[in-house]
C-alpha cells in the first residue's frame, strides 16, 4: 500500500514537472532571437513567402495559443513534425522552399524513437564499463580506508573527473582507432561502434561511483552491526558482500538519479564527436538548426525519462533499505 501511494504521488508530481519543463522550453524557444521560419522556407524565399508560411504554421500567434495547440497534440501522442527534415530523414540546405505543412516532414516522435535505442545502448554499455572499472577500485578503497587502495581510489577519481571528456574522446580516437586500428570510431555500423564512445563516457561517470563507494562503504564498515558480525564469526567476504554492500548501495542508487543529468550531458557531447546516431546527436543538430519541434520533443522526453528514473531510483532504494523514507 505504501508503495502504491508513493507511486501515485510521485507520478502525479512527475507529470506536473514534465508540464512545467515543456512550458519553460517552449517559451524559451519562442522568446530567444532567431526565426525558424527562415530556415524552413530555405535561403532563397522572398519575405512575403516567409510571412505567409509563418502565419499558416501558426508561428505568429501569441505564445499561449501556440502552447495550447502543442499540448493538445501532445495529449494525442503527436509531438509535431520536424521543421528541417523531410520524411526521408536528410538534412536540407539552401534551395527553394518546400512546404512543410504537407506531412512530408519527419514526425518528431519517429525521429526520437528511432534514435532512442542507440542512446540507451550507449548509456547501458557505459554504465557497465563504469561499474567494471569503479567497483573493484571503489570497494578496495572503501575497505582499506587508510591504505594504498584508498589513495589509489582517490587518485583515480580525481584524475578521471579532471579529464575533459571531449578531449579524451579525441585522444582515444587518435590512438585506438587511427594509429592502432583496434576499434572503429565514427558513426554506427555494428555493435563494435558503441565501444569507444562507451569507454569515454564510462571514464566520465566512474569517478562519482568510486567516490560514493569508498565513502559509504567506509562509513558502513565502521558501524556497530559490522563489528557484531565479526564477533559472530562471519567471514570477511560474507560480511562485505551480504551485509555491508547492501547498506552502502543506497547512496549509490541515489547517485544514479542525480548523475543522470551529467550522463545526459556527456552523452550529447560524445555522440556529437563520434557522430553516433543517438538522441544526443539529434539534439545538437536540432538546436543549431533551430528545429523547434524536435528540441521540444527531446526536452519533454528527457525530462519524462528523468522523472521516471528518479521514481525508480527511489523505489529501488526503498526496496534495498526499507528504512529509507519515501
Quick one: 1 or 178, whose CB is closer to another protein?
Answer: 178
Contact criterion met (CB below 8 Å) for 231 and 262: no
Q: Judged by CB under 8 A, which of 68, 95, 124, 147 binds another protein? A: 95
Contact criterion met (CB below 8 Å) for 281 and 270: no
Q: Which of 77, 81, 97 is CA-nearest to residue 89?
A: 81
* Coil, strand or helix at 72: helix
- The 3-state DSSP composition of the chain as helix, strand, coil percent (nearest 5) reads 75, 5, 20
Q: Which of 193, 121, 124, 208 is CA-nearest to residue 160?
A: 208
Q: Judged by CB under 8 A, which of 161, 176, 226, 315 binds another protein? A: 161
Quick one: 92 or 234, whose CB is closer to another protein?
Answer: 92
Q: Judged by CB under 8 A, which of 159, 228, 238, 321 binds another protein? A: 159
Residue 174 as a binder of another protein (CB under 8 A): the answer is yes
Residue 21 as a binder of another protein (CB under 8 A): the answer is yes
Q: Judged by CB under 8 A, which of 130, 290, 297, 317 binds another protein? A: 290
Residue 92 as a binder of another protein (CB under 8 A): the answer is yes
Site string for another protein, 181-220 (x = CB under 8 A): ---xxxx-x-------------------------x-----
Q: How many CA atoms lie within 13 A of 113 on its CB side?
A: 8
Distance of CA 265 to the CA centre of its chain: 6
Judging by beta carbons within 10 Å of its beta carbon (0-12, 13-18, 19+), is residue 82 exposed, middle or buried?
A: buried
Site string for another protein, 300-319 (x = CB under 8 A): --xx--xx------------
- Helix or strand (DSSP H, E) at 83: strand 81-86
CB of 186 to another protein, least distance (A): 5
CB of 88 to another protein, least distance (A): 4
Q: Which of residues 262-281 bind another protein (CB under 8 A)?
A: 264-265, 268-269, 272, 275
Residue 158 as a binder of another protein (CB under 8 A): the answer is yes
**Strand partners of residue 105:** 86
Residue with cell 556529437: 272
Read off the C-alpha cell for 289. 538548426
Q: Judged by CB under 8 A, which of 37, 53, 54, 84 binds another protein? A: 84
Residue 17 as a binder of another protein (CB under 8 A): the answer is yes
Only segment of 2-10, 157-165, 233-241, 311-319 that touches another protein (CB under 8 A): 157-165
Amino acid at each position: 500500500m505504501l508503495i502504491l501511494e508513493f507511486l501515485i504521488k510521485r507520478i502525479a508530481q512527475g507529470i506536473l514537472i514534465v508540464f512545467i519543463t515543456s512550458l519553460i522550453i517552449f517559451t524559451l524557444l519562442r522568446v530567444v532571437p532567431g526565426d525558424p521560419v527562415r530556415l524552413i522556407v530555405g535561403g532563397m524565399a522572398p519575405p512575403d513567402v516567409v510571412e505567409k508560411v509563418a502565419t499558416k504554421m501558426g508561428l505568429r500567434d501569441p505564445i499561449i495559443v501556440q502552447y495550447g495547440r502543442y499540448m493538445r497534440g501532445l495529449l494525442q501522442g503527436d509531438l509535431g513534425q520536424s521543421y528541417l527534415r523531410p520524411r526521408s530523414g536528410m538534412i536540407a540546405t539552401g534551395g527553394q522552399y518546400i512546404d512543410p505543412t504537407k506531412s512530408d516532414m519527419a514526425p518528431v516522435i519517429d525521429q526520437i524513437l528511432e534514435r532512442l535505442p542507440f542512446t540507451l545502448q550507449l548509456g547501458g554499455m557505459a554504465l557497465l564499463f563504469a561499474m567494471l572499472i569503479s567497483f573493484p577500485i571503489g570497494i578496495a578503497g572503501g575497505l582499506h580506508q587508510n591504505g594504498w587502495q584508498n589513495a589509489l581510489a582517490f587518485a583515480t577519481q580525481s584524475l578521471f573527473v579532471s579529464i575533459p571528456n571531449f578531449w579524451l574522446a579525441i585522444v582515444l580516437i587518435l590512438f585506438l582507432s587511427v594509429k592502432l586500428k583496434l576499434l572503429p570510431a565514427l558513426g554506427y555500423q555494428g555493435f563494435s561502434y558503441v565501444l569507444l564512445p562507451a569507454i569515454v563516457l564510462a571514464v566520465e561517470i566512474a569517478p562519482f561511483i568510486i567516490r560514493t563507494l569508498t565513502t559509504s562503504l567506509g562509513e558502513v564498515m565502521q558501524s556497530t552491526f559490522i563489528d557484531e558480525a565479526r564477533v559472530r564469526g562471519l567471514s570477511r567476504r560474507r560480511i562485505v558482500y551480504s551485509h555491508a554492500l547492501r547498506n552502502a548501495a543506497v547512496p549509490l542508487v541515489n547517485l544514479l538519479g542525480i548523475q543522470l543529468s551529467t550522463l545526459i550531458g556527456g552523452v550529447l557531447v560524445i555522440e556529437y564527436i563520434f557522430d553516433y546516431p543517438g538522441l544526443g546527436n539529434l539534439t545538437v543538430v536540432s538546436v543549431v538548426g533551430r528545429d523547434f519541434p524536435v528540441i521540444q520533443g527531446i526536452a519533454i522526453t528527457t525530462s519524462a525519462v528523468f522523472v521516471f528514473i528518479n521514481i525508480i531510483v527511489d523505489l529501488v532504494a526503498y526496496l534495498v533499505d526499507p528504512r529509507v523514507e519515501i
